[in-house]
């Protein structure tokens, strides 16, 4: 296996972890990047971007990162809040009046970010084609009655997060999440980071490979909790299944139509390098740019939801738009924050050590107990970057 890129002295264990993902976990194609104190110290890529075409993973290959997109969106939202353009504690209806129906008039914007609004899926049929057209899912969510009393509990809004948060952004600024990400974040930092991919960039996107059936559904050694989750994943009537697949037919995440649409929860396309730089610029200065000030980061990472997740059926912990570190998902330890995506991608930051971490891949996995690939990389980073 040929590994390409650069590793600064002292970070060789991170390279070793990246290589071991290919030897131990059947990685097809992947990239990893690490920033520390605003400087890129690891930038690696290897493998195959498209098995069918025999296309190698190259320096600027991009990948669709599923829910890792939520962290990209959250960084943008906190930047807008820092500029005074959105008040996260104001009612959603202040920006989006149609939302104030069916008991939702007082729901604050922050509950959309922390999965407390009770709108994880639709109560009406939405096709995949309609889901790519913005107006239909947004109107449906505005009309809909929550599945639980907002604010009383939380449940992962896997796809609807993007339409809910995105419509607040659109109403408050007159621009979409994709437009703002490109203009206010990607351009100043020179990032390959898209929500709504220009057709001219489609040739750079890696083709996703589905999780092997045996690995996804082998029940050998599962705990009772994992077995119950698997049953719900396979049950088309369960809340978990309907949340992960809110349209019929389901979305095709390899299609150019999906890549060109804006789904701020699930169809972000980026490189590992840009993902790491994005998180690094949220907690330190990168190329003269720092996106979020320390007070904004502190507010964004204050715990909003913790405990049994009504959708995922496991314990989850969220700030405002981010996973927070917990015993169930340690990330880079206490104080770190970020977001992972279906199949294994992960972007995150550690403010104390000024770390920006980005991992993207095209081999999907469905590990009920957590994907070992980003975990192995995170463990290596944690060992080589000292804590003060």
Contact of 261 with 252, CB cutoff 8 Å: no
How far, in Å, CA of 234 to CA of 243, rounded? Answer: 12
Q: Which residues pair with 62 in a beta bridge?
A: 205
The catalytic position among 67, 114, 284, 320 is 67
Contact of 32 with 272, CB cutoff 8 Å: yes
What Å distances lie between residue 143 and 99, 131, 182, CA to CA? 7, 16, 30
DSSP string covering 52-74, please? TTTEEP-TT-BEE-TTHHHHHHH
In 3D, which of 120, 376, 154, 385 has the Cα closest to residue 265?
120
Element (H, E) at 48: strand 39-50
Side-chain half-sphere CA neighbours of 44 within 13 A? 28
Which residues have CB under 8 Å from 215's CB, separation 6+? Answer: 365, 366, 367
- Would you call 67 a catalytic residue per the annotation? yes
354: its two tokens? 């000024």
35: its two tokens? 């920033």
How far, in Å, CA of 294 to CA of 233, rounded? Answer: 39
Contact of 373 with 344, CB cutoff 8 Å: yes
Active site residues: 67
């Amino acid at each position: 296996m040929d590994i390409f890129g650069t590793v600064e002295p002292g970070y060789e264990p991170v390279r070793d972890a990246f290589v071991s993902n290919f030897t131990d976990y059947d990685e097809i194609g992947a990239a990893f990047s690490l920033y520390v104190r605003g400087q890129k110290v690891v930038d690696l890529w290897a493998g195959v971007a498209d098995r069918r075409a025999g296309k190698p993973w190259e320096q600027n290959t991009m990948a669709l990162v599923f829910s890792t997109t939520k962290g990209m969106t959250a960084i943008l939202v906190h930047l807008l809040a820092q500029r005074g353009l959105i008040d996260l504690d104001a009612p959603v209806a202040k920006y989006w009046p149609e939302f104030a129906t069916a008991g939702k008039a007082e729901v604050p914007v922050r509950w959309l970010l922390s999965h407390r609004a009770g709108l994880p899926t639709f109560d009406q049929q939405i096709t995949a084609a309609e889901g790519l057209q913005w107006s239909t899912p947004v109107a449906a969510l505005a009309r809909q009655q929550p599945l639980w009393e907002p604010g009383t509990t939380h449940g992962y809004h896997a796809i609807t997060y993007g339409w809910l948060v995105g419509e607040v952004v659109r109403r408050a600024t007159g621009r979409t999440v994709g437009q703002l990400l490109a203009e206010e974040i990607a351009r100043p930092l020179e990032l390959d980071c898209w929500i709504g991919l220009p057709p001219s960039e489609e040739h750079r996107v890696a083709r996703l490979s589905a999780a092997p059936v045996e690995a996804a559904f082998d029940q050998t050694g599962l705990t009772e909790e994992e077995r119950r989750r698997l049953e719900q994943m396979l049950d088309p009537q369960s809340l978990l299944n309907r949340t992960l697949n809110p349209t019929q037919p389901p979305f095709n995440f390899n299609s150019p139509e999906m890549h060109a649409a804006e789904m701020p929860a699930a169809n972000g396309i980026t490189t590992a390098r840009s993902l790491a730089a994005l998180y690094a610029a949220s907690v330190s200065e990168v190329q003269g740019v720092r996106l979020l000030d320390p007070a904004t980061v502190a507010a964004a990472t204050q715990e909003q939801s913790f405990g049994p997740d009504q959708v995922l059926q496991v314990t989850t912990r969220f700030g405002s738009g981010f996973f927070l570190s917990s015993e169930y998902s340690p990330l880079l330890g206490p104080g770190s924050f970020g977001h992972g995506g279906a199949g294994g991608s992960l972007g995150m930051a550690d403010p104390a050590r000024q770390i920006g971490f980005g991992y993207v891949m095209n081999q999907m996995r469905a590990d009920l107990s957590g994907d070992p690939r980003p975990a192995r990389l995170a463990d290596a980073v944690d060992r080589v970057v000292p804590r003060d």
